[in-house]
């Protein structure tokens, strides 16, 4: 993939994440911070499909943005063919692993498998 395409994704995920994370934080504040973290309240959030879908989207957006940011920093710190490949693939694998792990929580909770 061309670097310009990767960076357009980087900017796009950032902008989309700002809007969705703002909603996520507002949900904590409108319910009352401590109350919103109570088990029943969190469970209700996860079981409400639009909210669960939003969490899944935030997970993907931030994982893509965060691990690409890490890739950029690591690529600038050290150079070399093997190192750069390891960084790029390493970040990709870490990103997929984090999305998979987070999705497992969202999907299982949403489907009532708790």
Residues at the interface with other proteins (CB under 8 A): 2-4, 6-8, 11, 14-15, 18, 21, 29, 32-34, 37, 39, 42-43, 46, 59, 62-63, 66-67, 69-70, 72-73, 75-79, 84, 98, 101-102, 104-105, 108-109, 113-114
Whose CA is closest to 26, among 10, 13, 45? 45
CB-nearer residue toward other proteins: 32 or 50 = 32
Write the burial class of residue 51 (CB in 10 Å: 0-12 exposed, 13-18 middle, 19+ buried): middle
Smallest gap from residue 76 Cβ to other proteins (A) = 5
d(CA 50, CA 20): 12
Asked whether the beta carbons of 61 and 16 are under 8 A apart, the reply is yes
Smallest gap from residue 52 Cβ to other proteins (A) = 12
CB-nearer residue toward other proteins: 50 or 78 = 78
């Amino acid at each position: 993939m061309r670097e310009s395409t990767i960076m357009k994704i980087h900017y796009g995920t950032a902008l989309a994440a700002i809007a969705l994370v703002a909603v996520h934080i507002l949900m904590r504040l409108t319910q009352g911070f401590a109350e919103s973290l109570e088990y029943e309240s969190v469970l209700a959030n996860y079981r409400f499909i639009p909210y669960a879908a939003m969490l899944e989207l935030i997970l993907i957006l931030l994982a893509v943005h965060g691990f690409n940011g890490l890739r950029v920093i690591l690529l600038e710190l050290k150079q070399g063919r093997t190192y750069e490949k390891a960084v790029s693939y390493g970040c990709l694998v870490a990103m997929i692993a984090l999305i998979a792990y987070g999705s497992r929580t969202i999907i299982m909770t949403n489907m009532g498998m708790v």
